[in-house]
Amino acid sequence: LFTDPIECVFSFTMSSWRPPPSSGSHHYGRFAPPPPPPPPNGTVNTHDANKQNQQEQSYSNGAGNSTRFVPPTPMPSTTASHNVLHSNSSIPPPPHMPGGSGVGVGGPPHPPPPRHPHPPPPFAGELPPPPGPPGHYPPPPGGHSMPPPRGGPPGAPSVGPPPPHPSHPPPPPHPTIASMTRSYPSPARSSQQLHPPPPTTAQSQSQPQQQQPQYIPRSKPKPKIDPAQIPRAPIFTRPQSQKDEPIPIYYPSRALSLDKVVPPPLADSRFLVEDDGNASPQLIRSTLYAIPKDSYFARRTGIDMGLLCTPLAIHSQDTIPRPIQMPTTTTTNDTSNNADIHHTLQDRNKDPQRISVLQINDNGVGIVPKCPVCHVYANPFWTATTCNFCRSSHRHVDIGGMPLQYGTVEYEVGGPYITRVTPAQPVHVYALDASLPQLELHIQLLQNVGIYMAQQYNYSMSASSQQQQQQQQYQRQSLSRNRQQPSQPTLLRPRIGCCIVAHTGLYMVYCKKANRNGGGDNNANAKGDDLELALTLMSDITDDPFCPLPPESWTCDMGTDSGVREYNQVMSKMYEMLKPLLTPKQPSSSKSNKVQPNPSAGGAALAILANVLEHTGGKATYITHTRPNRGIGSIRDREQKSLTIYTKSDRERELYTPIQLLQESSATHPDPSAAQFYTNLGNQCVKDRVSLNVYFVTRAQPSTFLDIATLSEVCRVTGGKLHWIRGNSRWPEQLQEELLRNALDVDSGSDAIFKVRCSEGIQVKSYMTASGITVDNVLGDSPEIELSNVGAQTCIGVELEHRVGGMPKAVNHAYFQSVLLYTTSTGKRRLRVSTMGLRASVDPAQIFRSADFSAVTAMLTRHAIAHVWKKRPEEEHGRVLEGARKDVGDRCEKILSNYRMYTSAKNSPPGQLILPETLQLLPLYCMCLLKSSMFRPSLPKRESGVRVNHPSPSGDERAYSLHHGAGIHPALSLLQVHPNIFSVSELKPNDGDVGEWHIPSFEDRPTTEMELAAHHPFIKMPRSIHPSITCLEEDGIYLIDDGLSIILCIGQNVSGEVKQELLEKDELGNVIVSPRTDYGQRVLRLVWQMRIFCSIGTGTESSTLRPTYPPIIAVFSGSEKQDTYYKELVLNAMVHDSTTDEDDYVEFLCGLHRKIRDTVSAKS
């Protein structure tokens, strides 16, 4: 019940049944607290309860400011009349039993019985297993099984499902999704599952003798919460549900001036920001918007002070972004609305949130005005004579009439800000592993990348003149006229090249002619008939790899027509020329049947790519399907496809921790030579402004160890990307899109330096799992980060702490300034400065109200990952993963315990779990984080008695999740661990407007670009469902978004007509969503809207924050031909269900409440 948004309370009422007459004691669940003492008269005083509710309501209207969920008072019944249990009280029957009242003892009413007379089968179409011997029910296969009944016959334990009914259909002959799971429930835990729907009244009357004995309890009862009242994850990323609601506009400076602390909209919500003198939360997001004044008050909350900085999340004013292809709009029934959508999409491509660009002087050479004491740049919080950071005078600082009304501004600088003679050039070089399956197809994909790169350049050139006019008009309206405007950017022509690397040598195909640079006439060699191809082979690359040719000789200029023709000619003939040389020799006969991995000189390939870009800088990409295992940089197989290593925590840690971060000595280090090689490679690439990207293209279940962890560390340090594309049928589309996103990322920067400064009393403690290399400042100022590449997805976590003594008493605000010095894709040197002001507080309740859920969870994830990567001395025997899991639980319990002890929530009854309004979903997030592939155990517990054939997750899977979690943006923190599930079973033309375009209506005609952008069209999303296997129907179709992929889950009982309308086969025989039918088009539009979730901006200028391009993976329930990996994706997404290692959501809350109560009791 959502009453007053002040406090969130769960009333834990425990059901207890009288034991047999021979016993004289009560039995409680394992999370149940001891029964409260009965009132003097043996009953519950209704007046006192009402008085208590009035007191809580009065607090709700005061300073508590949290949301209160109070279960409804149960209706009086002849069998259940008290909330307090007594040893001499009559025992009521369970709810929905013959003779029961339908209301739990002291608890909320249970959901109504189902319409069908028997419990429905599980999602996978399986029937519950038949009953075994008396007193024994075997556990069903699958970690997400159907829950057991509430009781059983006399003498039998209350575990296992009821016997199947004769009316049920026979079980399916093939395995289903529920039977293919990563972890299995043990018999000891079966009684802790959720209960199935109880029988209806008709069923109980038709079979009174058979049904009633099954519900006589014989096991220990458990505490119960009404599942309908616990916090569930709302879909903040979903566009507004009402058709006529515009996008909300947030004003950060106006929010700072309010009497009440108002945190910004959630990071994964849909909102716009008007820069009114305070930095946008899309660029800097704080965990707290009321900063504790000193460490004493910070300890009373338990929430870590931190910032999540995404400095390039919003485009600069002169950026020409890559056009985004919009989905079709031809199926809308309202033709007039359809025309409005087309017109609106064309007219609203301008993002009003763009960052203004200023030039210091006519020549672009000058010094940005800053404080002479603390070196903070001029910002809107400066007074006429005083710096807001150090409170020193800046009277002698020449601002020069600079307008200081924007929280974020970008300066076009030169002179001392240019640290290199030549800026980094847009050079893209690719290396393909010669052992790649379908090598010819990979070459074709790279050829397409070059074509798109040339089209992007031509598009940018044609739009540059119009863009310049728009910039000048925008700045004349918003900035002072006496400031110099930035000069029109000169686009640098991109270059691209490709080579093949094998363990036998380096193969380079290039065009041999007199004038290769394309600097002459573009019409020369128009026919391309005189292009002569040459082949260069360097055989010895295993020990000292380098590139034998300069980059100008084998890369093509994609800014000229001749360069485009050269590249197409080279790529079309490359495979034909190299096929005789790359044909593998037949292996000699051997008695050993051990599978040998494909030879790969991956270390040499990365070294060659870095050597190519040594003087120019740029982006280097290596595409492979296995780890480096030949020559320099070879990595030994530390997994060896053995389950034994996963039983040893110290050995398992070596699989998901980069070998560069292992702190063991050289004598015990698993691979010291490889660790030294990749450490030096990363440092050298940062020095040379080279960004390394690695793409793995493998089967769903790779046959060998990939060592994702080691190569991901190289990508993280150099500011590159690591992607693992696992053998789905649409992998070429996914690989090409990933390559295009990296190659056409025009709003990214290179040769960057990032820094954060804090006001008095606060300092930077560390950068949490940030990209680049951290450099400590010798002057005692905050450290800096050097980055080879920075983009819209680059999110840097900053951990803050109080200085000795805290903030001065006379200071009521805290200020933070992030500075990014970088080079744009056009070769301009820019300085982007973002200044954020926050309120200071000494009230714990106000601090809790100011907490930002997205930022808190993102920092919590980074802390846990840092715990995994950096072994602590007290953690012996390598139990780092267990320590990280414990750290997550301890942080959650500490925050909620402090809220209970140091706010007015301490006056609430101890039997209630009270959550802050802004952190209602913190327990859910922590539970899902522990169940994610980052932190869940790879093998089930020994006491479960379950045996598995492969670990889940494997070392590579865990390393891949940790890599993306280390740089997670607040907008994706919840989605990464808690999937969004949408039912698309009813998307027909007459089934509503889900999957269609909508334009919010205008009450008053918009007068500004911001108001116009607030009415941008969007696609209506369906309602989401809980990620539980009990919520999936066998005849349903669902879209599951887990952050890295989008799963189209098709139930086994879906009719053939529906499948034919939704799906079709492409030219290669792969199953895809049909773009020809109305049903398929609606689903594709929903997928498009899901892919731009967590995007900043509107229209075709949106900067997506997703780390990967999520493919559509079709999973068919009951299909034995499909790999179990895809079925495990569905089961792992059911995070609300219990497994062998974790409880379900309800029991997790029970255990958390017990810990909080114990902590509060110990400190009271």
Residues 961-986: pLDDT tens digits?
A: 999 999 989 999 999 999 999 999 87
Q: In this predicted structure, which of 275-284, 365-374, 473-482, 656-665 has the lowest mean pLDDT?
A: 473-482
Q: In this predicted structure, which of 1-5, 451-455, 933-937, 1042-1046 has the lowest mean pLDDT?
A: 1-5
Given a cut of 50, whether residue 457 has pLDDT beyond it is yes
Q: Cβ neighbours of residue 762 under 8 Å, at least 6 residues apart? A: 291, 305, 800, 801, 802, 803, 807, 814, 816
Residues in a beta bridge with 497: 429
pLDDT band at 238 (very low <50, low <70, confident <90, very high): low
What phi and psi values does residue 11 have, to the nearest 5 degrees? -90, 115
SS3 839: strand
Given a cut of 70, whether residue 215 has pLDDT beyond it is no
Query: Hey, what are 1002's tokens?
Result: 């205008």
Q: Considering only residues 903 and 171, tell me which one the structure prediction assigns the higher pLDDT.
A: 903
Kind of pairing between the strands at 284-286 and 1018-1019: unpaired
SS3 130: coil
Q: Considering only residues 739 and 996, tell me which one the structure prediction assigns the higher pLDDT.
A: 739
pTM: 0.80
Residue 77: per-residue pLDDT: 35
Given a cut of 60, whether residue 145 has pLDDT beyond it is no
Report the mean per-residue pLDDT for the chain. 75
pLDDT band at 340 (very low <50, low <70, confident <90, very high): low
Q: In this predicted structure, which of 81-95, 254-268, 1051-1065 has the lowest mean pLDDT?
A: 81-95
If residue 285 lies in a helix (H) or strand (E), which one and from where to where?
strand 284-286
Mean pLDDT of the region 628-637: 92
CA 997 remoteness from chain centre: 26
Which residue in the block uniquely carries the two structure tokens 């025997």?
A: 877
Q: Taken in order 623, 627, 628, 630, is the CA torsion positive or negative?
A: negative
Q: Considering only residues 1163 and 836, tell me which one the structure prediction assigns the higher pLDDT.
A: 836
SS3 1057: helix
Given a cut of 70, whether residue 522 has pLDDT beyond it is no
CB atoms within 10 A of CB 718: 30
pLDDT band at 49 (very low <50, low <70, confident <90, very high): very low
Q: Considering only residues 110 and 86, tell me which one the structure prediction assigns the higher pLDDT.
A: 110
DSSP codes of every residue in 539-571: ---SSS---SS-HHHHSEETTSHHHHHHHHHHH
Cα–Cα distance measured from residue 498 to residue 555, given in angstroms and rounded to the nearest whole number: 8
SS3 783: coil
Residue 1000: per-residue pLDDT: 78
pLDDT band at 645 (very low <50, low <70, confident <90, very high): confident
Given a cut of 60, whether residue 915 has pLDDT beyond it is yes
Tell me the pLDDT tens digit for each residue of 533-590.
999 999 888 888 999 999 999 999 998 999 999 999 999 999 999 988 887 654 444 4
Query: Hey, what are 323's tokens?
Result: 């056009």
What phi and psi values does residue 564 have, to the nearest 5 degrees? -65, -40
Q: Considering only residues 44 and 642, tell me which one the structure prediction assigns the higher pLDDT.
A: 642
Given a cut of 80, whether residue 402 has pLDDT beyond it is no
Query: Hey, what are 63's tokens?
Result: 């300073």
Mean pLDDT of the region 365-377: 82
Among residues 461, 453, 395, the alpha carbon closest in space to that of 429 is found at 453
Q: What share of the chain is helix, strand, coil (3-state, %, to 5)?
A: 30, 15, 55
pLDDT band at 900 (very low <50, low <70, confident <90, very high): very high
SS3 863: helix
HSE at residue 607, side-chain half, CA atoms within 13 A, is: 22
Among residues 455, 453, 458, the alpha carbon closest in space to that of 556 is found at 453
pLDDT band at 873 (very low <50, low <70, confident <90, very high): low
Mean pLDDT of the region 172-184: 41
Which range is most confident: 266-275, 347-356, 382-391, 792-801?
792-801
Q: Considering only residues 753 and 486, tell me which one the structure prediction assigns the higher pLDDT.
A: 753
Query: Hey, what are 970's tokens?
Result: 């607040």
Mean pLDDT of the region 808-814: 92
pLDDT band at 890 (very low <50, low <70, confident <90, very high): very high
pLDDT band at 596 (very low <50, low <70, confident <90, very high): low
* Residue environment code for 659-687, b if the CB has 16+ CB neighbours within 10 A, otherwise e: bbebeeeeeebbbeebbebbbebbeebbe
pLDDT band at 74 (very low <50, low <70, confident <90, very high): very low
Residue 498: per-residue pLDDT: 96
What phi and psi values does residue 102 have, to the nearest 5 degrees? 85, 0
Residue 800: per-residue pLDDT: 96
Query: Hey, what are 54's tokens?
Result: 């009035």
Given a cut of 60, whether residue 341 has pLDDT beyond it is no
**In the chain, pLDDT over 70 holds for what percent of residues?**
68
Which residue in the block uniquely carries the two structure tokens 């139930």?
A: 1051
Given a cut of 80, whether residue 170 has pLDDT beyond it is no
